[in-house]
Amino acid sequence: MSFSVATRALRDGRRALIGWSIGLAVLVGFTLAFYPSIKGNESYDDLLEDMPEALQSFVGTQGLTSPAGYLESQIFIFMLPLLFLIFEIGRGAASIAGEERVGTLDLLLANPIARGRVVVEKFGTLVASMFVLGLGFFLVLLVGVLVLDMDIGFRSLIVPTVGTILLGIFFGTLALSVGALTGRKGTASAVSALVAVVAYLLNSLAPFIGAVEPLRVVSPFYWALGESPVGDPVPLIRLILVIAVTGLVLIVGIFRFDRRDLGT
Amino acid sequence: MVRTEPTSAAIRTEGLTKFYGDVRGVEDLDLEVRRGELFGFLGPNGAGKSTTIRLLLDLLRPTSGRVEVLGIVPSSSVELRRSLGYLPGELSLYEDLTGAQLLEFFAALRGVTDLGYAHDLADRLGLDLGRPIRALSRGNKQKVGLVQAFFHRPDLLILDEPTSGLDPLVQHEFQSILKETVSEGRTVFLSSHVLSEIEHVTHRVGIIRSGRLVVVEQIANLKAKAIRRLDVLLARDVAPDGLADVPGVRSLDIEGRRVRLTVEGSMDGVIKALAAYEVDDLISEEPDLEEIFLAYYQEEA
């Protein structure tokens, strides 16, 4: 059994993946390079403490100048999830809906390959490319932390990295499935982006708005990253929850895709 | 390789109906294509040809009615598609691949290892498989589409407007490929909106109009019923008499040296009658599909 569809999709996306990896490495490298000039300058933390709590939640709970606080506020609380989500939602939406719109899906599915198999192989490429990008990021992060001699535990680095990777895959899968359901690439991207914004706001703001506080537990951001991704890494069970819900979204996509008419 | 029913019809539909919401694709289509036949599916654009074809390929699901391809309901078997070759009406290829890479990709999906026939076909059609598809002209892309439909020697070829974009020389080569395919006992189902493109190769023709199958007929019978327009320019202004009584002449209009006729079936009588005069020019137009439809409707009425 060969994975021709996945292999082809990976090859098709390899240039973009290389570009993303280089861009991300540069961005993370620069971000880390500024740490020595921030470190020990506690006036930044004082500044932060004067801000309203709700605003503080957008930069994490660890301050700015400690290693955990710096990584959390500058990388994990916003920048990394944003980039991973853009990367994956774009790929997810293009996987099925993109091919359907261009018209190549007709020809592909004239081959003896089940529709579900196509979805699964496309999902496989989403996972693989996200892990490649995530691994690249993690290596740059590790090197930076070692070079700058930042005092931070391995678990505080690996858990939020894996969490963000899984979060990216979740939203990529959402875009894939909505695309497989509707055949519309624009709809797939828009729905996924909307869900992402709502989920992000729920996780960041819910603690300060009593009425929506209980809703926080439905946010994938809460599952994958929690309130303080680096300072208080989420327990393993929450990462497993992300994987389980991703699987569910994928199954719904496969199920519906198998039953509908394909557009030309 | 695939367990298709060798004794079944190549294609059989019963009451096949497809609506897109309220819009009719095809309605109540009963069609049977025999094994080893070269069947032409003829109809104007928008008549439901592509809808029918995409139902055969399981890209669409019927609203009601039944489809069987090689004795198998398409939606029940992925393996059925091993025995099918398909050329879509609106061909889209992976533009970043070369022709050879595209064929290797599809060969891998089909578990086919021998690409010898693919290269043969490409040579015969004059297609360079080494070039990226995005750099190919429309006609050459169509050739890639044809090669990928034929290269694995499927039992049934389903070709949606296969000759569109091909120049006449290539069309000729394509027709001989079709004939070879049928001579090997395989079946070809091809659609067109122009009778002349398929009249030389097909055995039987089904005509579809506004989503309904109007008639299925031997090509010879169809042409016998076809009405042709004839435009004759005589050398001298002599009103030819007796033309209106020639068998097959449906209408006659004489205007000085110019004689316009419509003729049903054989031209023989008219030509022989005209032979008595000096003829400067004679133009015979392709029988129009609409006129063929009308001929059938008139007969029914």
Could you report the per-residue pLDDT of B236-255, keeping only the tens digit for each?
887 777 888 888 888 888 88
Q: Which residues contact A40 (CB under 8 A, 6 or more apart)?
A: A65
* Residue A42 near residue A65 (C-beta atoms within 8 A): yes
Indicate if the alpha-carbon torsion angle A219, A224, A229, A232 is positive or negative: positive
CB contact under 8 A, B92 and A5: no
Q: Which residues of A touch B96 (CB under 8 A)?
A: 12
How does residue A252 score in pLDDT terms, banded at 50, 70 and 90? very high
What is the pLDDT at residue A41? 81
Q: Give the pLDDT confidence score for residue B294 in this predicted structure.
A: 66
B297 touches chain A (CB under 8 A): no
Whether pLDDT at B229 is above 70: yes
Taking the CA of residue A147 and the nearest CA in chain B, the distance in Å comes to 42
Measure CB to CB from residue B109 to each of A113, A261, A262 and give the nearest one.
Answer: A113
Average pLDDT over residues B284-294: 71
CA atoms within 13 A of residue A231's CA, in its CB half-sphere: 16
Segment 10-29 of chain A within 8 Å of chain B by CB: 12
Q: Residue written as tokens 């979060």?
A: A167
Average pLDDT over residues B260-268: 85
Question: Residue A59 above 80 pLDDT?
Answer: no
Using CB atoms within 10 Å of the CB of residue B194, give its burial: 0 to 12 exposed, 13 to 18 middle, 19+ buried: middle
Give the 3-state secondary structure of residue A210.
helix
Instruction: Tell me the nearest-neighbour CA distance from A18 into chain B, angstroms.
Output: 17
d(C-alpha B231, C-alpha B91), whole Å: 38
The answer to whether A67 touches A151, Cβ cutoff 8 Å, is: yes
pLDDT tens for residues B185-211? 999 999 998 877 788 888 899 999 889
Residue A243 has pLDDT above 60, yes or no: yes
Nearest CB neighbour to A110, from listed B57, B94, B96: B57
**Band of pLDDT at residue B296, cut at 50, 70 and 90:** low
Other residues' Cβ atoms within 10 Å of the Cβ of residue A71: 29
Q: Find the DSSP H helices in chain A.
A: 4-12, 14-33, 35-38, 43-49, 53-56, 67-71, 79-93, 99-102, 104-108, 115-147, 155-182, 185-205, 220-224, 236-257
Give the pLDDT of residue B133.
97
Mutate to test the interface with A, among B57, B94, B134, B142 (most CBs of A within 10 A): B94
Contact A112 B108 (CB under 8 A): no
Helix/strand/coil (H, E, C) string of chain B? Answer: CCCCCCCCCCEEEEEEEEEECCEEEEEEEEEEECCCCEEEEECCCCCCHHHHHHHHCCCCCCCEEEEEECCECHHHCCHHHHHEEEECCCCCCCCCCEHHHHHHHHHHHHCCCCCHHHHHHHHHHCCCCCCEHHHCCHHHHHHHHHHHHHCCCCCEEEEECCCCCCCHHHHHHHHHHHHHHHHCCCEEEEEECCHHHHCCCCCEEEEEECCEEEEEEEHHHHHHHCEEEEEEEECCCCCCCCHHHCCCEEEEEEECCEEEEEEECCCHHHHHHHCCCCEEEEEECCCCHHHHHHHHHHHHC
Closest residue of B to A102, CA-based? B92
Q: Which band of pLDDT confidence, cut at 50, 70 and 90, is reported for residue B297?
A: low
Predicted complex ipTM: 0.89
Mean pLDDT, residues A187-207 taken together: 94
DSSP class of residue A61 equals S
Distance of alpha carbon A140 from its chain centroid, rounded?
A: 18
Confidence of residue B295 (pLDDT cuts 50, 70, 90): low
Residue B298 pLDDT more than 70? no
Domain positions in chain B: 11-223, 227-300
Is residue B62 within 8 Å of residue B17, measured between CB atoms?
yes
pLDDT tens digit sequence for B45-86: 889 999 999 999 999 999 999 999 999 999 999 999 999 999
CB–CB contact B105 A114 (8 Å): no
**Residue numbers of B between 23 and 82 with CB closer than 8 Å to A:** 50, 54, 57-61, 78-82
Contact B110 A112 (CB under 8 A): yes
Burial status of residue A114 (CB atoms within 10 A of its CB: 0-12, 13-18, 19 or more): middle
Contact by Cβ (8 Å): A204, A190: no
Angle at which helix A4-12 crosses helix A115-147, to 10 degrees, equals 50
**Could you tell me the sign of the dihedral formed by the alpha carbons of B118, B120, B123, B125, in that order?**
negative
Cα(A170)–Cα(A147) distance, rounded to whole angstroms? 32
pLDDT of B301 reads: 46
Mean pLDDT of A217-227: 95
Q: Inform me whether the C-beta atom of residue A82 falls under 8 Å from chain B C-beta atoms.
A: no
| Predicted local distance difference test score (pLDDT) of residue B289 | 66
Q: Which of B230-234, B260-264, B279-283 has the lowest mean pLDDT?
A: B260-264
Q: Is the pLDDT of residue B4 over 80?
A: no
User: How far is the CA of B126 from the CAs of A133, B144, B147, B171, in angstroms?
Assistant: 43, 10, 11, 11
Q: Which amino acid is at B92?
A: S
Classified by CATH at the fold level, domain B227-300 comes out as Alpha-Beta Plaits (3.30.70)
- Total Cβ atoms within 10 A of residue A40: 8
Q: Work out the average pLDDT over A83-107.
A: 95
Q: What pLDDT shows up at residue A140?
A: 97
Mean pLDDT lowest among A146-160, A249-263, B119-133, B220-234: B220-234
pLDDT in tens, B269-281: 888 888 888 999 9
Report strand pairing: B64-69 vs B204-209: unpaired
**Domains of chain A, residue spans:** 4-257
State whether residue A210 sits within 8 Å of chain B by CB. Answer: no
pLDDT at A264: 66
CA R_g for chain B: 22
Q: How many CB atoms lie within 10 A of CB B151?
A: 23
Q: For residues A90 and A84, give the distance between their C-alpha atoms in angstroms, rounded to a whole number.
A: 10
User: How many CB atoms neighbour CB A51 within 10 A?
Assistant: 12
Largest CA distance in chain A: 65
Whole-number Å distance between alpha carbons of B291 and B251: 14
- pLDDT at A158 exceeding the cut of 80: yes
- Least confident range from A195-209, A246-260, B25-39, B101-115: namely A195-209
Question: What was the pLDDT predicted at A1?
Answer: 53
Best residue in A4, A107, A118 to probe B by mutation, most B CBs within 10 Å?
Answer: A107
Q: Of B81, B79, B88, whose CA–CA distance to B51 is shortest?
A: B88
Closest by Cβ to A112, choosing from B79, B92, B145? B79
pLDDT of B284 reads 86
List, for residues A118-157, the tens digit of each pLDDT value: 999 999 999 999 999 999 999 999 999 999 999 999 999 9
Q: Angle at CA B150, nearest 5°, toward B149 and B151?
A: 105
Q: What is the pLDDT of residue B225?
A: 74
Burial class (CB in 10 A: 0-12, 13-18, 19+), B187: buried
How far is residue B271's CA from residue B266's CA, in Å, rounded to a whole number?
Answer: 10
Question: pLDDT exceeding 70 applies to what percent of chain B?
Answer: 94
Query: Which pLDDT tens digit goes with each residue over A8-27?
Result: 999 889 999 999 999 999 99
Task: Please give the residue of chain A at the shortest CA–CA distance from B2.
Answer: A112
Instruction: Report d(CA B72, CA B11) in Å as an integer.
Output: 9
| Mean pLDDT, chain B, whole residue set | 90
| Record: contact A106-B59, CB cut-off 8 A | yes
Tokens 């010879």 belong to: B220
Match 């070759």 to its residue by tokens. B85
pLDDT recorded at residue B149? 98
Percent over 70 (pLDDT), chain A? 99
**Looking at per-residue confidence, does A60 or A198 come out higher?**
A198
Q: What is the rounded average pLDDT for all residues in chain A?
A: 93
Fold of B11-223: Rossmann fold (3.40.50)
